[in-house]
Amino acid sequence: MQRDLRIASVVNVFVLAVGAPALAEVKLPAVIGNNMVLQRGGTGKGGETPEAAGESTGRGAKVPAKINFEAANKSLRCIAKDLKFTEGPVWLPDKKCLLFSDIPADTIYSWTKDGGLKVFRRPSHQSNGNILDLTGRLLTCEHGSRTLTRTEKDGKVTTLASSYKGKKLNSPNDLAVKSDGTIWFTDPPYGLRGKKSEQPANYVFRLDPGKAEPVAVVDDMDRPNGVCFSPDEKYLYVANSGKAHHVRRFAVKADNTLDKGKVFVTIDPGGPDGMRVDSSGRLYSTAGNGVQVFSPEGKLLGVIRTPKGAANCTFGGPAGTTLFITARDSVWAADLAPR
C-alpha cells in the first residue's frame, strides 16, 4: 500500500498530496543560530550505503573510547526551539541533515547547520520514531495511522505493517534495524488518544523482510518504548517507560527469537525513552535529566544534561560523533569528540 506524500511549496504555502490535495499555511518555529528559508521539503531520496544506515542506528558511531563528559556538556547547544514535543531524530549522511518528528504538530522537520529548519513532511500522521533501513530509506512509526511505513526513493510512502492477527496495531513508537534486514519495533498505546486498543498486550514486534504481518517477540512489558541492538547484535535493549522505568536486555537467538531478558539498568530521574548504542557498546538512554550513558556492563559513565527531559537521541554530524537530542519542545546537539 502506498500513499503520495511529496511536499511542494509556493512562497509560504505548502501543497500536500495525501489522496486529495490540501492547502496549509506553514508557520515554522524559532531556530537558533540559523536563518529559516522556506523551500521544497525533502522527499526521502537518498543513496545511503548500509554503513551509513548503521551510523544512524548508533552501532556505527565511532565515539572516542573515553568520553569527556565535561567537554561534551560545554558543547551542548540548542539548534531548534518553540516546538511542541520532539521525537525520533535520525541523521541522513548523504543529505548532511537531521530529521525529527514533532508529534503534536503532525510534522517531520529537517535541519541543517547552514539551512536551519524546514518542513520535511506535513501531515506526518503523528510520526514518532524514525530510522534508516539498510539501503538508506526512511522508516517511520506513525501514531496517527497506527502503522510502520517506509519512504521510497521516489518519495512515496509504503505501509509495511498495520495489523497483527487481524487487529490494528496500537501506535508504533520506536524501531531498530538488524543487519539481516529485519525491523524491530515497539507498540505501546501512547498514540491511541482515546481509541480502544485491539491488541491483548503491548508488544515488541519483529517484521521480517517481505512479510506484511509482524511477529511478537516480547509480550510482558508495561510500556515498551525505545529499542536498539548491541554492536554485535547479540543483545536487544528495550526501554520500559511504564511503572518500572528500566531498560531490559534480551539475548537474540539464532532464529531471531529472544530469551526472557533481564533488567540492565534502571533510569532515574524520569524514565527511559529513546536509546542508541555506539560502536563500543555503550548505551545512551534518554532520561529526565538528559542522556545517561552506560558501559556494556551497565555502569553509569556520565550524563549529557539537557534543560528539559530528553525523549530520544541519535548520532550524526560529519564524523558521526555529534549526539542530537530531542528534549520536549526543543532539539539539542553535543559533541562527543573534539571538533
DSSP calls for 175-239: EEE-TTS-EEEE--STT-TTPPP-SSS--EEEE-TT-SS-EEEE---SSEEEEEE-TTSSEEEEE
pTM of the model: 0.86
The helix/strand/coil state of 150 is strand
Q: What is the pLDDT of residue 9?
A: 34
Distance, CA of 170 to CA of 198 (rounded, Å)? 7
Whether 51 has a pLDDT exceeding 60, the answer reads: no
d(CA 296, CA 280): 8
83, 177, 89, 79: which is closest to 136 by C-alpha?
177
Confidence of residue 219 (pLDDT cuts 50, 70, 90): very high
The SS3 of residue 102 is: strand
- Per-residue pLDDT reduced to its tens digit, 69-110: 999 999 999 999 999 999 999 999 999 999 999 999 999 999
Quickly count: other Cβ atoms within 10 Å of residue 263's Cβ. 12
What one-character DSSP code corresponds to residue 155? S
pLDDT for 156 beyond 90: yes
Beta bridge partners of 312: 326
For 236-285, the pLDDT digits (tens) are 999 999 999 999 999 999 999 999 999 999 999 999 999 999 999 999 99
pLDDT confidence tier of residue 17, bands split at 50, 70 and 90:
very low
Counted domains in the chain: 1
User: Would you state the pLDDT for residue 274?
Assistant: 98
Whether the pLDDT of residue 163 is over 90: the answer is yes
| Structural domain harbouring 24 | 2-335
Q: Residue 228's domain is classified under what CATH number?
A: 2.120.10.30
Torsion angle of the four alpha carbons 293, 33, 174, 306, in this order, in degrees rounded to the nearest 10 = 40
pLDDT of residue 60: 56
The C-alpha atoms of residue 141 and residue 236 are separated, in whole angstroms, by 18
- Is 125 a residue whose pLDDT tops 70? yes
How high is the mean pLDDT of the chain?
A: 86
- Residue 339: predicted pLDDT: 77
Q: Which of 19-28, 62-71, 137-146, 223-232 has the lowest mean pLDDT?
A: 19-28
Whether the pLDDT of residue 184 is over 70: the answer is yes
**What integer is the mean pLDDT of 136-151?**
98
Confidence of residue 338 (pLDDT cuts 50, 70, 90): confident
pLDDT value for 39: 26
Per-residue pLDDT at 205 exceeds 70? yes
